[in-house]
Structure 1
Amino acid sequence: MDSDNFKAARSRLTKTQKELAQLLGISIKAIHSYEQGWRKIPHHVERQLLFLVARVINGDTPHEKCWDIQRCPKNKLAKCPAWEFKAGDLCWFINGTKCSGEAHDSWEDKMAECRKCDVFINFFKNERGIITND
């Protein structure tokens, strides 16, 4: 997530910098730094921000589950945390998912794969600027 994506997400949540800082449990100086591009946005902040945006845009609307979209075989589902926690629309949020066959070593690696995935893209498809730079 870059500074433009961060600003777009804050805007979508309709929060001031101060309100978002309080919501994320970080300082307003950190918010300023992220939005100006002075500091890299930590994975735990990006993750929480995307989760909040997901709840705002989707609320209780049911979505097709990742395992249906990806047509995961039964043996793969048995090892999948998204399946275990019945979070097929939040697979991108859960560490340890094994969409490419193995769990990722870092949040950055996971999100690099998720940003190319139809599940993630479809989930945020109407949220311009939050997951893309347009």
Structure 2
Amino acid sequence: MKKLNCWEFKKCGRQFGGEKVSELGLCPVVIEISLEGTHDGESGGRACWVLEGTICKGYIHGNFIEKQRECEKCDFYEYVKQQEGNNFLSIATLLKIIEDYNNREL
């Protein structure tokens, strides 16, 4: 069974070529390369709860702190958590992956 990314599961339309990109902009999840492959997803598509600027309940969420409680109640978060089981990466681990990627030497 294919593991869905958030834009496939939630059908937000903010992915490349999505029907809501002109209205709401391209979602930062689809360009977050530091999380490529995380939970077998594309870009940040299976770890969207640690990224700013995602949409939920019709509005774009701000920073990580503001959105975290809502994300932990999200059906997609639970979907990924259930699929990954013991391989589900903690929020701290995901944030460390992003930090390490951003601090890498080029």
TM-score by length of 1: 0.41
Which protein has the larger Cα radius of gyration, Structure 1 or Structure 2? 1
TM-score by length of 2: 0.49
Of the two structures, which has the highest relative contact order with CA contacts closer than 8 Å and spacing of 6 or more?
Answer: 1
